[in-house]
Structure 1
Amino acid sequence: METDAAPSGQDEPEGSSTIDPPPSTEASAEEEPAPVEPPLEEEPAPVEAPPVAEHVKRIETDIATNLYNTDAWLALINEANRHSSDMSFLREAYERFLKIFPTAGRYWKQYAEHEMTAGNYANVENIFRRCLLTCPNMDLWRCYLTYIRLIKDGKPDERESVLRAFEFAIEHMGMDLNATHIWRDYIQYAKAGPKPANQFEESQKVATVRRLYQRAIESPISNLESLWKEYDAFESGVNKLLAKPLIAEYAGKYMTARAVCHERRGYVDGLQLNMLPVPPTHTPQEAHQVRLWRRLINFEKTNPERTPDERLRRRVGFAYNQALQCLYHFAEIWHEAAQYQIDNGAPEEGQTIYERAVNALPTNLFLHLAYADLLESGKRVSEAKEIYERIIQHTPGTNTLAHIHYLRFLRRTEGPDAARKLFVKAKKAPGTTYHLYVATAMLEYHANRNVDYARDVFNAGLKKFIGEPTYVLHYLRFLIQLNEDNNVRAVFERVLGSAEMANERTAELWNALLEFEYAAGDLASIQKLEKRRAQIFPELEPASVPSLVQRYRFLDLWPSEPSEAYLPLSFGVGAAAGKSADARDERPKIVARPDTSKMIAFRPELEAPPPESHAIPSLGHEAGGGHRHGGDEGGPTMTMAPFSPPPFSPTNLPSMSPRSPTTLAAAGGSDGGPARLFAYYLPLFPPADSYYGPMVNLDGLVALLRQTNIPPSALVPPAGGGDVGGRKRKAAEDHHHPPPMHMGGGGGGGGGGGGGPAPQNAPPARDIFRQRQAAKLTRFK
């Protein structure tokens, strides 16, 4: 019994308990004297009971606080292992543990070993029926084979049962990278059979062992080299003349399997097969494990063994099954596993996976709906209906979405009357939201073409959700679509007069009614409505730019060019009119922004860098001509928020703002080059929201940056060594006398110094590699 062995894997839900292992062991179990279920009164432990109860009480408190507290559960299992003589306490602990962590293969194995030690073979078989087929755990399967040999071995009439058990294990676990143990045990058991009575039986035994070796060396499993050596020795011992052609025939298959095993090992390494399955915690470690499992599954889908489609489907399914040991609570993994089987011609396998999935995650609506769609597409309407009923029962009070999909399902399969009956029942359920009324009304309007019933549903919902602006907005749009102008205005006035609707929540309602008036009302009605809106939202005065922009725009067509002053701000206000200033100022918290705490007055002109800094070409050629000096000339600089970059020092780069995740390493390293320039200059730019003036000609700026040549001497030199003084002098010369800037495209551009090619960086003066190459060429000449 390996109670302290390392955990090996996990199992799946208990939905497979009706599947029996092929080798029947009932007859052997009857021969054992141990009872199936020992009477609880025969196993009391009065001396040990007080300390167990005291320690377990503390553990139970931790478990009650957090149902998925793995440390507390493991402490409970360890306590049960220490008091293994109390079988009732041990069974209860393991049953509770495995109900919460049904894919913990290590603990299924320990549970079975405890029952085997106690001689309760009927309980052992029940454990294997519950976990074996749904838990691809190597240690658990080896424990199963040990149990089969324990109760079957030594009986000549039961040898075939043991061989079938080995075949059963190979069928389900032969694709595991660590299946070498099963193959070797299988081969050794076949070799150790009874002595053949004649030559025919001898040849049959040799053929059986040979075929096992050949199947094993074709499988990409670990320690394949040792199996290959054993096979070589086996063939040489049988017949040296036949050994050579047989070894040569399978040498290529062995090399292919070994190469695939080595490649697969790179994808398996790093996976934590012992991780207990808990709901997603979104930790970096968990995300890393998910990525590793997906990487392995995607690798298996590439069919590295070049096997037929059926075998490939089984291997990918095996990888998914292994992943679900740890990712048991990840609905997307369940869905992907089922969908893969369906897409590859095995809908029955997909249905089995979905059934296990909804049993594993009984409150997950996504899996239930996907499963119901699969059953409905297969014309199994009654079974699909059961799935909808099941999810509604498992999620009382939070099942509005489930009711909505159930409504649509009943309308498709049983007609509108069945859907209406469900609506009458569902609207009385606790926790029902306005979405049910909207969905029912739209279903009546679009699918059943019943406008009156849809209007009645909206009216009934308005009595209950008149303070919900989103519901009212859907109702208004429904009435607008029906061209019921008077009802639109009446509903709007009714909502505004309701004490349940706060004024600050009516912005979208005002916009919807204004859009209606823009399209169908007269100018007097529009102006009157805008004045009423201004009483609630003073920033939207009727004659203000934001109000007029909103009135004149249509869809994505605007009354003026976005580059004009004030209009970008107007567009933002017009698109979300009525929102509070705080709501408009909300910005993503994760956006990298410079530190603006020490900003001073902004100067549009680029200051000349120190002599030891980078040589930056002049940007004086502007569209309007001339330079702008100072903050009071050449344009409306009042639209720029005050800002000034700190002085540049290449040897002591400023630290980044705590709000900005950008670092030198993220920008491309700290060894100099353009990446370091970007790492310095990016935090110096003012934030985008501080600028409301004319827009920059981005195309021209990008073209200028691409055509600008930065000499190597302008780059930050690496720390230490070299001709530091010479580099500094060269940088200073380049600053005072920058090289001519060549414009691309050849020919003509003003001030470009001709249309010659851009200068190329010359090779180093002492290039040892080039000197050696030149010397070799000279010798050949």
Structure 2
Amino acid sequence: MSTQVTADSILRDAYQNRDRPLDRPEQTIQDLDELRSFQLTKRREYEQQLNKNRLNFGQWVRYAKWEVEYNHDFQRARSIYERALQVNVEHIPFWIHYIQLELTNKNVNHARNLLERAVTSLPRVDKFWYLYVQTEETLGNYDMVRVIFERWLTWHPLQSAWDSYIGFERRYEEYENARVLYSRYVERFNFTGEVWLKWIQFERRQAEGYERSVFENAIDSMISAWQGRLSTHAQENQEDVFFANIIDKWTRWEVSVEENERARAIYVKLLEIIHRVGGDVMESKGASLIQQQYTEFEKTYGNQNSIEESIYAKRLVRYKIELESDPNDYDTWWAYIKLTQKVKSGNHEEICKIFENAIENVPKTDTVKSIRWKRYIYLWIHYALYVELNSQSDVEAARSIWNRCIQVVPKNKFVFGKVWILFAEFEIRNGGGTDINSARKVLGRSIGVCSSIGKPKSKIFRFYISLEKKLGEWGRCRKIYEKWLELDTSATSVLLEYINFERELGETSRVIGLFEIGMEFNFNGIWKSYIAYLQEETEYAKAREVYRRVINFNLSESGSVWISFAMFESKIPTEEQLRIFEAAGNANDNEDDEIEFSITDIQRNKTRSIFKEASMALKQHPEQRITVLEAYKYYEEHQGSPESIQEAVKKLPTAVIKRRTNSNGIEEEYVEFIFPEDEQKKPEVSKFLANAKKWMLQNKS
């Protein structure tokens, strides 16, 4: 009976036998012919695989290992490796397997030959060199190890090669050889801080007395290298960190051998070099690290003075860094200069150099007299005064600075009066006390500059006038005032100063002449002073004339002038009072005694007449008229009788609200003031006109 095979049974059998391993037939080799047949079969398989993919280096390795492990045929294995190297001589793992094969089987000479071939063919591969020196060191061939390292170094390898060479010498306590290598090491890598730190660590570990010389050579070489380096900014910052670490280790070592003063001197000298060379040698990162170390050192081992010096030095570095980023920061320049003067008061040349660096940064972008310009000019002033007072009477140098300062200011835009005044004072101080012509020339130049831009500086003129007053040169003072007024005819304050000057000299005619000139140019600014002067000189008639000139000049705005005019009549004495005053003055030599006079009816009546005249003159200007009448009422309330008060009140207007059509055709309300005084003087025809109008309307109807 046959069994039926179904798809289900096939799948079931396959599932049940899925984990059963494949049973291969065992093959046993009985004689030499079978061995050779087996070897031939395996070699054919390997060759077929390599013919398919010659770049399968794992297959080459397995092939060579099979020849060695199963057949002990080194010749065939070497042949396989050589064939593989012909495929790709740069395949490093294959070289390593090849060399390890020879070393494992103690074929030393073969391994040496391979290593020699490897480092000759691929000298940039550090792994071959490491394996080469490791092999020779294991064999105890130390001279050969040094030869191999020297050959390796000719290819300028990385720092790891140098570290390995030095490590080899240290293992066998050849410390002098290690020092020679370190000296070559730092020179090869351009005296970088990282290499110096390795050498320093080595010397500190040996403690044979070479530490200080290594520290000194490290600092000297790094500073020298920085002055000419052209590396990137990031590398500069990294070198700064190494540099700061070396300084820290050096000073700590000096402290450990109880050389605190030497450690302090290291910091001081180093900071001097940094300040002198500037930002091309050390950027902010390294400078701040060193300064921080110095501050911590002084806090631990210093006194109060040394701590202050370290803080000052730190601030100087910070200022310098800020100025490198913004050379036009004049506030920082000012602080930098002041601190430098405090710390290095005796170093005149260095301070002058800082001043020169500061004034080179002209605020060219500002075309007006800005705050930046003012701060910049103050640097010039500080510089000139410093040179004058601290350069052993080098007057010419200070004068040159003043002249340069004047030249740097754009003369066609603005003037710094303070500079000219200080320059003139400088010439006075250095003129021997008798010759002030140089100062006059300076001030004359300043006035000429003011003339060129049409903007006179009051500071300069006032200083010049004050100088000539002290010398009693009244004629020169007048010329200066005249020049001042020539440049600015609208300067009322200048004219008043000129008038006061003439009043002090008792030049009455000149004073009146100047007032008259002022009245021609500016009534509003001069007439009050003019009247006050005339009142003081008892020129009352002239004062009344001035009042009327001012009123006629601008009648529409003359309300306040009328009020002042009216009150003036109550302030001045009558003719009788004036005679009494003069008689009392002749009888009493003491001019300081005051004589009081009361207001009489004569003065009141004159005041009332002015108020009434003003009311009539201002008919066309109701607002000004109301102001005058209010002042009239106020005056009567304080100086008049009930009847006069009532009379003043009757003159006040009545406000009437009316309607009118404006220019846009819109009806609007407005206020009209009705003055009783005007109503009384109108002809009484209003009743006649009313009757006529009534008759006309009746006829139309």
Based on CA coordinates, which of the two structures has the bigger radius of gyration? 2
TM-score interval (norm. to shorter): 0.3 to 0.5
Structure with the higher helix share, 1 or 2: 2
TM-score by length of 1: 0.32
TM-score by length of 2: 0.35
